[in-house]
Amino acid sequence: MAGSVKVPADVELDDTLAFGLTARQLGLLAATAVCGYGAYLLLQPLLPTPVAVAAPVLLVVCGLLLALGSHEGMRGDQLALAAARYLRSPKRRLLAPDGLPAPLPGSPRPGSVAPLQVPVRRILSNGLVQLVDGCHCVLVEARGSSFELRSPAEQEAFVACFARFLNSRGDPVQLTVSSEPASLDPHADQLEHTATTLPPELAAAAREHATFLRGLAAGGRLLRRRIVLVLPTREQDPSLAHATLARQAAEAGQILAGAEVALRPLDGHEAAALLAGRLDPPGPTDGSHLEGVIHAHPHPHLHTDNNDDDRGGGGWPGAGVAWAAEPPAPR
């Protein structure tokens, strides 16, 4: 007899042993009870009874939060470990390929500073990024439409489409949203250039629109939102990794097309420029261009004589992308 079987959505939840609690929760509660009772036995002969009782109560409350608490899908013990790692980790990281210099004798103790370990080894011309552990990833730029202007039914369809994309991924995926300075001068220049070939009425409208675009830029700093999707793979071989990531990017593009999101993989030059901009937010100086790919160089804004081929430079133990400034035009 044919029938349907319902598959629960929480198949990855831990099994419960007693009182609806998992083995991890029972272990934490047992350890909390033992520590609380032990703290009371130690403090009771030394302190007044109210104080001796208050200290174990605080310990028990912390244990209950670790065992039973959760936030945004993370357990209480996971949140506590993440907080401990954050407090112990350096808050400032510097590009120091040769390591941080030793402090001078008698100088004040430096703050929490550590070298920045960039996880990128090289960038290939096809846009494939090789990481320090041998794995690869690609950077995919995403462009979509406004979500707030859609009807409730369309918003639900967009969310369901994005959920299908996440469920189709077997490997972790990273989604970054950043704001970058935008310039409307190229669009205004294109309009003014096109206006020379248009009839007088259209030419006047084109010049008026170009003036309007330049006025927007003069009114304040313009920013654009850039969304980049990072698709990784554990493949060590560059050819196999490129084929795998190209297939995954194509599948992601087909799925997200239902949400009117267009994906475009970045090539090697675009990926290197994007990483260089993230490491140096002000970006290169005006009139400069990307000279190499990624290589070890302590001064990323100085000219380099590195003659690596277009498949990538050497290792990158914390350096940047070299930018070479164009010589000034003769007066």
The last residue of one of the domains, among 72, 88, 104, is 88
Under a CB-based contact definition with an 8 Å cutoff, are residues 120 and 133 in contact?
no
Domain membership of residue 40 (yes or no) is: yes
The last residue of one of the domains, among 58, 88, 118, is 88
3-state secondary structure of 265: strand
Task: Give the β-pairing of 113-115 and 92-94.
Answer: parallel
Strand extents, DSSP E, 54-135 = 70-71, 74-75, 92-94, 113-115, 120-123, 129-131
Domain membership of residue 324 (yes or no) is: yes
The pLDDT value recorded for residue 327 is 41
Under a CB-based contact definition with an 8 Å cutoff, are residues 313 and 306 in contact?
yes
Under a CB-based contact definition with an 8 Å cutoff, are residues 131 and 119 in contact?
yes
Per-residue pLDDT of the chain (331 residues; tens, 9 = 90+): 556 666 555 556 666 777 777 888 888 888 888 888 888 888 888 888 888 888 888 888 888 888 888 887 788 888 888 888 888 888 787 777 777 777 777 777 767 788 877 888 888 888 899 988 889 999 999 988 788 888 888 888 888 888 888 888 888 888 888 887 778 888 888 888 888 888 888 888 988 998 888 888 776 677 888 889 999 999 888 889 999 999 999 999 999 888 888 899 998 888 888 888 877 665 555 555 555 544 444 444 444 444 444 434 333 433 344 444 344 444 3
Number of Cα atoms under 13 Å in the Cβ half of residue 219: 9
Helices (H), the chain: 23-43, 49-68, 76-88, 152-167, 185-195, 200-218, 238-256, 268-279
Domain membership of residue 239 (yes or no) is: no
Domain membership of residue 227 (yes or no) is: no
Q: What is the pLDDT of residues 259-288, one digit of tens each?
A: 888 899 998 888 888 888 877 665 555 555
* C-alpha 26 chain-centroid distance: 36
Domain membership of residue 140 (yes or no) is: no
- Sort residue 22 into left (φ over 0), alpha (ψ -120 to 50) or beta: beta
How many angstroms separate the CA atoms of 161 and 157, rounded?
Answer: 6
Under a CB-based contact definition with an 8 Å cutoff, are residues 198 and 192 in contact?
no
Number of Cα atoms under 13 Å in the Cβ half of residue 84: 6
The pLDDT value recorded for residue 247 is 92
Under a CB-based contact definition with an 8 Å cutoff, are residues 124 and 136 in contact?
no
* Domain extent at residue 312: 268-331
The pLDDT value recorded for residue 141 is 92
3-state secondary structure of 131: strand
Domain membership of residue 179 (yes or no) is: no
Read off the pTM. Answer: 0.59
Domain membership of residue 136 (yes or no) is: no
Please identify which residue in the block is written with the tokens 């209950």: 64
Name the domain count of the chain. 2
The last residue of one of the domains, among 44, 73, 88, is 88
Domain membership of residue 102 (yes or no) is: no
